[in-house]
Structure formats: structure tokens, C-alpha cells
Amino acid sequence: MIIYLYGCKYLDEKFTLGENVLSTLGRFVLIIWLFVVLIINSSYTASLTSILTVQQLDTGITGLDSLISSSLPIGYQNGKFTKKYLIQELNIPESRLVALNTIQEYADALNRGPKYGGVAAIVDEKPYIDIFLSYYCNFRIVGQQFTREGWGFVRSPSFNLFCAFIRSSRCISTKHK
């Protein structure tokens, strides 16, 4: 596609300080160079925007204490003793608890988040969390395990470094078998 502007010679002289690009190859290289600069500029802008946005997406939950003190909904596995433990031992109101049945419901509730009818975190036994994380590696365990041996909770990360680590460790472990 060739674009011709009226007064092109004047524009060439104005922007190149009197040096005209006469050969077709020179103009082709100039156009390619402009596209490369445009792509680099767009990539930088997207990276900067992403860095600034990810900081705003963090819920601020760093452990069980911050989860209890917040008013955010908490997910638990339906039919387990978790609900009773959260209400009686940790004094969390039942209205904040959301019963979940499958790992698909876990992922859906965490992806929606507390603003859109989901949950801020899920409290469950560590083996169940490990199974969940083996299917959905875009989530992570936050904070230390608490009071009962083998417990933890999951929330959405602000970066995908953990997911990349899990994928690479899976690839390494399957190659060595």
C-alpha cells in the first residue's frame, strides 16, 4: 500500500532536515523501522499499565487474621467440619460463609471475587487445596497453615509466577520419569 501526501517533498525536507530518501529499499527500511518503534512503544505502555493495574487488584488478604478481620465472603467445602470450625472456633458469622461442592465451583467463586457474588478466599484441608491447585494453577496458598494440622486457604494471585513455576516443575518431573 502506497500513501501519497500532497507536498511530500516539503514534509521530507521538514522532518529529515533536507535529506531525502530516494531509493525504494530505503523507504521500505524506514517503514519497517517505524513499525518496530511503534511495537516497542506499545509493548512498553502495555507493560507499565499492567504493572500499575495488578497492584490495584490485590485484595490485601495476607493470612487468616486479615481474612477474619475483613468482611469478605469465605468459601468452604460443603459437608465438611470446616463450617462448624469457622463459626465456633474463629467466630466468623455464618452469613459470610459460602458452601462450595466441586473444584469447578471453587475456581468460579474465586474468579468472580467478592464484588460479583464470589468469595475472597477458600478455607479447606490442605490435600483438597493441593488437588484444586493441580487443576487451577492461577491461584495460590496465602499465609501459614493454622491451628489444625494440614489446613490452608487459597486466593487469586497478583501475578502468574507461581503458575509458571508449577508448569515448569511438571514438565521436569514428567521428563525424568
Which pLDDT score, from 0 to 100, does residue 54 have?
Answer: 62
Which pLDDT score, from 0 to 100, does residue 90 have?
Answer: 86
Q: Are residues 91 and 121 in the same domain?
A: yes
Q: Are residues 70 and 109 in the same domain?
A: yes
Cα 107 from Cα 157, distance rounded (Å)? 13
Q: Are residues 30 and 69 in the same domain?
A: no
Q: How many domains does the chain have?
A: 2
Cα 133 from Cα 122, distance rounded (Å)? 12
Residue 1 within any structural domain of the chain? no
Q: Are residues 38 and 74 in the same domain?
A: no
The angle formed by the CA atoms of residues 24, 28 and 31, to the nearest 5 degrees, is: 140
Which pLDDT score, from 0 to 100, does residue 161 have?
Answer: 52
What the block records as the C-alpha cell of 42 is 506499545
Amino acid at 62: T
Structural domain for 78, as ranges: 64-175
Q: Are residues 93 and 35 in the same domain?
A: no
* Run means of pLDDT, 10 residues per run, the chain, 177 residues: 48 56 82 93 88 64 82 88 86 92 91 88 86 86 66 53 55 49
Which pLDDT score, from 0 to 100, does residue 59 have?
Answer: 61
CATH of the domain at 165: 3.40.190
Burial of 113 (0-12, 13-18, 19+ CB in 10 A): middle
